[in-house]
Amino acid sequence: MNSLQEHVNPVKKVNLLDFDRKGLAAFFVGLGEKPFRATQLMKWIYQEDVYDFDAMSNLSKSLRAYLNEHCVIATPEIVIEQVASDGTIKWAMQTHCGNRIESVFIPEDDRNTLCISSQIGCALACTFCSTAQQGFNRNLAASEIIGQLFVAQNRVSKANRITNVVFMGMGEPLLNFDNVVASVNLMMDDFAYGLSKRRVTISSSGVVPAIERLGTACDVSLAISLHAVRDELRDELVPINKKYPLNMLMDACRENAKIAPRRFITFEYVMLDGINDTLEDARGLIKLLKTVPSKLNLIPFNPFPNSSYRCSSKETILKFKTLLNDAGIITTVRKTRGEDIDAACGQLVGQVADKSRRHLKLKNAA
């Protein structure tokens, strides 16, 4: 096996990890090659762990020479690794431009989940999320998204095969739509990682037009960061709600659910003491979710510096959960993982130079 070209700047060459199989086939056709070259190359990269073009013996000598001159296989590079007391691993990965993103590996008895980032920073300014306070730099390329899975799987070894991927790291995935879809296609491609569509989850704060597009572009599981049942409160917690209020969001969710009627949409709800955790809020959730096939994840708030929020008490969360379950809403409390290394939900920050214009980004959201 050959070592991965992690340090090559992909800006000057075509990074082949930016393409899903369809895109790779088009790339080869543009070179005058047959489309099946895409499958051959993917097998070498994703199944054989071969990254040296000269070792790809079923490619012609002239094609290998072209790939060596014009193409690269490059991923982000791990620069910091932190291991939590519960076995969770957080990696800070550096991109070719020097920015850092964070990914989290969460091992469990029945699965190994990788939480990945889709942007450097985030423009949506959700007030309870540490990432959102760091500003926004840019979208990640498809190679930088799939590269997180690539690097993580190699790091933990094939014995700890990653079975689930969640887009719940830094950034709003649906504001980087094309690159996210391309990377998801690779995750589910049998010639790449072959993950089930039920095991890849895209989480969104509610970019309604992109939710509508997602249903036809990519058949994956959808999670919605809800966090409030009243527009005035959600406007404060999740500011994109000002552009796409709850009635529009729930309409989009109902339409998305029609594509896979047996699949639930997961709604995420962070528990904030005295803010959104009353039994009246729980009853509002029951009313809001009753027309959507849904599961609800209650997320204990994870503190970060300069935040004014506190987590709801265990007793409050239990009462909240019980009321929802009794009403027929499948409700679970997310177990906090990696809190001692700031790897828990809402704590990822990376190293982001704020070029924010975050309100402009929000105004022009897909």
DSSP 211-249: HHHHHHH---EEEEE---SSHHHHHHHSGGGGTS-HHHH
Instruction: State the amino acid at position 12 in one-letter form.
Output: K
Query: Among the options 71, 77, 102, 129, which is catalytic?
Result: 102
Which structure tokens are listed for 45?
Answer: 């990269």
- The secondary structure of 306-356, three-state, reads CCCCCECCHHHHHHHHHHHHHCCCEEEECCCCCHHHCCCCCCCCCECCCCC
**Is residue 345 among the annotated active site residues?**
yes
Cα end-to-end span (Å), the chain? 42
**Is residue 6 among the annotated active site residues?**
no
If you ran DSSP here, which 8-state letter would residue 184 be given? H
Instruction: State the amino acid at position 292 in one-letter form.
Output: V
Cβ neighbors of 12 (< 8 A, separation 6 or more) are none
Query: Among the options 115, 218, 253, 345, which is catalytic?
Result: 345
Which structure tokens are listed for 236?
Answer: 């404060």
Q: Which H or E run contains 257?
A: helix 246-259
Query: Please, are residues 328 and 296 in contact by the beta-carbon 8 Å criterion?
Result: no
How far, in Å, CA of 130 to CA of 299, rounded? 15
The closest alpha carbon to 88, from 62, 113, 70, belongs to: 113
Residues with catalytic function? 102, 345
